[in-house]
Structure 1
Amino acid sequence: MVHFAISLTIAILVFYAGKYIIRKLYNFVYGILHRRQVEASLSTFVLSLVRIVLYFILIVTVIGILGIETSSFLALFASAGVAIGMALSGTLQNFAGGVLILLLKPFKVGDYIEAQGFAGTVTRIEIFNTIICTPDNKSIIIPNGGLSTGSINNYSIQPYRRVDWTVGISYGESVDRARTLLLDLLRKDPRILWEEKTGMPSVKAPVVVVAELADSSVNLSVRAWVASADYWGVYFDHNEEFYNAITAAPGLSFPFPQLDVHMTAAPQEPRH
């Protein structure tokens, strides 16, 4: 009886000390989540999970102090956990992926990303899935498990992007003339950057270089830097401008694929 009274007293002290430690750990985790600006739904879930796990450990510890056998209870709990984990392996993977995405933030709502074979603007990040909206206004639901383990191309992280065009001219035409024409068109666009900016690789003004001597054309590579938000507008606008300018410029033209065929008569065999 005395032994049980001592065990009970120790168990009560451990319980209240454990509650104090749990409260401190809870506040510590809350502070981390708050500083990282974790989404409210994930923050609530993580805090609840932390509280449940810590109280479970505390209760098992108190039961053990009272002399109650806990090994069978823990074995049963572990078996149930394994069974549930196997049944929900895909779901748990997506959940873990969602937690990682919300904590590490490889992208955020509003970013334009390319991942898992899809590209679009992130409209919502949920615990199990991420939803993106494609340029043609389709909503794509991507499981977070694949997102967290696969490659993600985030076009919105960097403030500036380089726009590349390939413009072909015919052989025998002046590269310098085409270069001057294309640079003049870029110079008229205020969205084109001509000086280095913070957050942008060390580059100079737009350039036009000979990229390839192809079968039917001399391919010029036109490169210019713009703000990421202006990328597609600049790209499509100058596609049309380059076409109109090359077509209208005297001495410049777009080549058509052509193939020179030389016919050689087969030798006549003598008749017998």
Structure 2
Amino acid sequence: MQQEVQVITQSLTFLQKNQDLIIGFCLKLLVAIVIFYIGRWVALGVSRLVGKALLLRHVDRAVVSFLSSIVYAAGLIAVTLMALSQLGIQTASFLAILGAAGLAVALALQGSLSNFASGVLIIVFRPFKSGDLVEVAGISGVVERIDIFQTIFKTGDNKKIIVPNSQITGGAIINYSAEKRRRIDLTISISYDSDLRVAKQILHDILQADSRVLKDPAAVIAVGALADSSVQLIVRPWVEATDYWAVYWDSLEKIKLQFDAAGIEIPFPQMSLHMKPHKDEA
């Protein structure tokens, strides 16, 4: 009994002597708890806002979930460090440990992190989207799906090609579907003996008769060059992007058939050879 009384007395004495210190620590603990819970709520809100923004840009839901989780985790780590700092705990050691761990992971996963960063850039800046016809990293195909580490394409001959995102952002990106209209660039050669005016009129009539060729901007038909063995005519009609290849192929076929019917020659490369007799033969 005396021992219990002695313990209680010592405890009261300790509390009286360290009253200010204990009250100060309790206040700091309360502030730290408030910071943690409010910060966690803010991190969750920011994560949800990021997710909604990405969904509005039609980003894949799996990618949205992944990025939202990263944003929430980063916010939660920052809030935890702030709360610990409020308690007087030195967070420099934690930051050093996190930095060292992050550096080790970055070195081990350098290629994957590069693909991840490139995937984030593609998702955020959207140089192309699913369904676009693009030319990247030396391949041409339709974008089937954009993942966080890679992008999947389908070629015209129905081949699936998986390209790491770092290879996409590291070079030029040609998006053929970005604009609704495209210009067809044709170069048609005729012989010097053919009637230039008749050839230009045939080209004009072919374009006028095709309803898929746009009136505005107007098509251009002009002499592009006087080559070694031919007169080169440039033909530049504008069409809807969806009609590009159909008009391209149809126009070439019509030009060949109508030039043949009108006697307009499409020359092939040729060389004139002049032979001089040897002195003895002379």
TM tier, smaller: 0.7 to 0.9
Partner of 2:236: 223
Q: Structure 1 vs Structure 2: percent identity of aligned residues?
A: 41
Aligned length: 260
Q: Which amino acid aligns with 1:262?
A: H
Partner of 1:133: 154
Partner of 2:54: 33
- List gaps (5 residues or longer) in structure 1: 197-202
- List gaps (5 residues or longer) in structure 2: 1-20
Q: Distance in 2 between matches of 1:133 and 1:189?
A: 30
After the TM superposition, which residues 60-79 of structure 1 pair with which residues of structure 2 at under 5 Å, given as runs?
60-79=81-100
Aligned with 2:260 (options 244, 247, 264): 247
How large is the RMSD of aligned CA atoms in angstroms?
Answer: 2.0
Partner of 2:271: 259
Q: Distance in 2 between matches of 1:133 and 1:72?
A: 49
Q: Are 1:238 and 2:259 matched, yes or no?
A: no
Q: Distance in 2 between matches of 1:264 and 1:238?
A: 45
**How does the TM-score come out when normalised to structure 1?**
0.88
Partner of 1:113: 134
| CA positional deviation for 1:113 | 0.4
| CA positional deviation for 1:14 | 2.2
**Greater share of residues in helix:** 2
Q: Distance in 2 between matches of 1:27 and 1:138?
A: 37
SS where residue 41 of structure 1 aligns?
A: helix
Q: Which amino acid aligns with 2:226?
A: L
Contact 1:38 1:102 in 2 (8 A): yes
Per-residue Cα deviation, 1:218-250 (whole angstroms, up to 9, x for no partner): 111112111110101111112122112112223
Q: Distance in 1 between matches of 2:92 and 2:220?
A: 72
Per-residue Cα deviation, 1:41-96 (whole angstroms, up to 9, x for no partner): 22212221111111111112222222333322221221111010111111111111
Q: Distance in 2 between matches of 1:109 and 1:131?
A: 9
Larger Cα Rg: Structure 1 or Structure 2? 2
Per-residue Cα deviation, 1:158-201 (whole angstroms, up to 9, x for no partner): 1111112222111121100011112212222111112x2xxxxx
Q: Which amino acid aligns with 1:38?
A: V
SS where residue 191 of structure 1 aligns?
A: coil
Q: Distance in 2 between matches of 1:36 and 1:169?
A: 50
After the TM superposition, which residues 74-89 of structure 1 pair with which residues of structure 2 at under 5 Å, given as runs?
74-89=95-110
Q: Which amino acid aligns with 2:254?
A: E
Q: Which amino acid aligns with 1:224?
A: P
Partner of 1:59: 80
SS where residue 225 of structure 2 aligns?
A: strand
Aligned with 1:152 (options 169, 173, 177): 173
Q: Which amino acid aligns with 2:277?
A: A
Q: Distance in 2 between matches of 1:164 and 1:13?
A: 66
Q: Distance in 1 between matches of 2:115 and 2:149?
A: 5
Partner of 2:16: none
| CA positional deviation for 1:140 | 1.3
Contact 1:38 1:103 in 2 (8 A): no
Q: Distance in 2 between matches of 1:208 and 1:7?
A: 81
